[in-house]
Amino acid sequence: MNSVTYASAAPHLRRPAQRSGVLLDSFQDLDRAAATPATVPAAGNPAAPGDGQLLCANKVFKSYRQNKHIIPVLRGVDFSIRPGEFVAVVGQSGSGKSTLLHLLGTLDAPDAGEIHFEGNRIDNLPSQARDVLRNRYFGMIFQFYHLLPELTTLENVLAPKMIGQGVFRYWINKRQHQEEARHLLDLVGLSHRLNHKPKELSGGEMQRAAIARALVAAPQLLLADEPTGNLDRQTGQEIMELLQSLNRRQNLTIVMVTHDQTIAALADRTVRLVEGLVERLA
Ligand code: ADP
Ligand code: MG
């Protein structure tokens, strides 16, 4: 059991109160409950670095070493996202989109530059603190879902709870966790697939399960790497509608990487990576 909390590893950080609106009954209920829409900057109007950002990357550099060659990927990227924004990161294949997302999610560390979450530097946290950050504050989804094949849909969604709390604490509150997981699976339209294993699900259903898993800790931020990249257009559209609903109705902040312009156009704002830098819009 991991006894180190993100806050104890970085005591200046405190978990903000859970957003109101999370864990409502269905998208229909969410529609009705959406009394206060998310405040987002106008599309195409990048937020300036500084106060009020949820996540901020400042002059981030990243290279990979392959044999004797150094492959520079990010060459001083600036990126920021405000609470409640839905930002798409686009760029050609190999432009460093996944690399940037991994750095933002502390899955990897930059060679230079800094990443801040709620004003606190996170790229240099010890690995246990980064584990806690990812388990409780960030949700992540990927092109190939990364569900555990041995587990059912419900168990996959519960897995982060068990990992985050440890088996004993998880077991004490098992009933409540299961209720929350069922509720989330209902929210993403999967309540009829609770006991299916991933191989018994369609691609769209697997991504819905992965989204429910990413949301189980009520994260502040969803990081999505090509979430529609392995889906047909119609199913991809449905997943995008789900992400848009989570953003607009539950105020979930989302960074989504995609190479697909049509998909990116559904976000509030687009950031393009070109030659290792964020392209400046004219
Ligand atoms: P994108 O997601 O935009 O397609 P990536 O961030 O995955 O691009 O990769 C950017 C570049 O870095 C590519 O040229 C890729 O081959 C290279 N790269 C990514 N990960 C590694 C790694 N672990 N080792 C070496 N090169 C890598
Ligand atoms: Mg990629």
Distance of CA 81 from the midpoint of ligand 2 (Å): 20
Half-sphere exposure of 120 (CA within 13 A, CB side): 15
User: What would the pLDDT profile of 52-103 be if each residue is shown by its tens digit?
Assistant: 899 999 999 999 999 999 999 999 999 999 999 999 999 999 999 999 999 9
User: Is residue 99 lining ligand 1, measured as CB closer than 6 Å?
Assistant: yes
Read off the DSSP letter of residue 2. -
Q: Which residue has the tokens 């460093």?
A: 96
pTM: 0.84
The residue nearest atom 14 of ligand 1, judged by CA position, is: 94
> Hey, what domains does the chain have and what are their CATH numbers?
52-281 (3.40.50.300)
User: What would the pLDDT profile of 236-258 be if each residue is shown by its tens digit?
Assistant: 999 999 999 999 999 999 999 99
| Cβ(76)–Cβ(56) below 8 Å | no
User: Is residue 97 lining ligand 1, measured as CB closer than 6 Å?
Assistant: yes
Q: Is 153 helix (H, G, I), strand (E, B) or coil?
A: helix
| Cβ(246)–Cβ(19) below 8 Å | no
- The pair of structure tokens assigned to 95 is 């432009």
User: Is residue 258 lining ligand 1, measured as CB closer than 6 Å?
Assistant: no
Q: Which of 141, 102, 100 is nearest to 254 (CA)?
A: 141
Q: Which of 255, 198, 262, 270 is nearest to 236 (CA)?
A: 262
Read off the DSSP letter of residue 267. S
Q: Is 120 helix (H, G, I), strand (E, B) or coil?
A: strand
Question: Which ligand is closest in space to the CA of residue 94?
Answer: 1
Question: Which ligand is closest in space to the CA of residue 93?
Answer: 1
